[in-house]
Structure 1
Amino acid sequence: MKRMKWAFLAVAVSACTTQGQMDAAPVQKTAIFSENYQLVYDRLNKGIRHCYSTPVTVDAQLYSELGYGEITLLAHGHPMQSVRITKADGGSKLEMRSLAPSQSVRAGSGNWMEYWAHGGSSCPGWVSGVSVPPPEL
């Protein structure tokens, strides 16, 4: 049942999205970390891969020479969320963009992205923006 709900959401979000639309989307969530961007990227990448499943594909790239990493979630080949973790003064900065259809889904997804970036390992009941991550680590 929960996979069916997630599949419906993924299809609804990705029906007509492009990378250009994702790049033009406003930043939905920003978070600052005291740790190196590579560590934050690694934790977030592991959390996403642990919790997301088909029909979502994770495209994760770390650009060490440029000082950032980017993780994009694709549904049926179309981008639906993108997170960029960049080098910042004394740490790193996370910025999330989303093409999710509702504010509650975007906010909930952003909370989970920040939770995983901090090293959290729990998964939502289904990634809908409705479930709330556990308290901060």
Structure 2
Amino acid sequence: MGYRSSYADVNDIIAFGRQLTAREQDIAVSFLLTASAKLRVTAERYGVDIDAKAAENEDYAAVVKETVIKSVIRALDSAADTSPPAVQASQSAMGYSVSMTYLNSGQSLYFLKNELKDLGILRQRWGALEVYETNENHN
């Protein structure tokens, strides 16, 4: 069983402004397929057929492509030889100690909530609960 097509390719990542080494290009091909599949599965879980929506609307397709590219870039940046951005760091003095937590240190492909909201996959839910019973037909 193979993957369906990817929403983006290596050239799209380069056009997005991220230069890739030959090794990163090989990794990116796999990441692009996996990120596309992961986005489809996530959308299906929320009842959204992104393939159909992308086929109907070029703007929607462009946002899908951007979402996949950003996810792959995050994963590639965490796999780079340079350190990925630290989201938390602490240092000590005399006995010198450093502790850092890195953003996406496990090379995981993930989508940000705002990216999924832009695609209509996650929606803000709201509701109301009547705390006090109102019965206007008191006898």
Establish whether TM, by shorter chain, passes 0.5: no
Return the structure number with greater helix share. 2
Q: TM-score, normalised by structure 1?
A: 0.30
Q: TM-score, normalised by structure 2?
A: 0.30
| Structure number, greater radius of gyration | 2
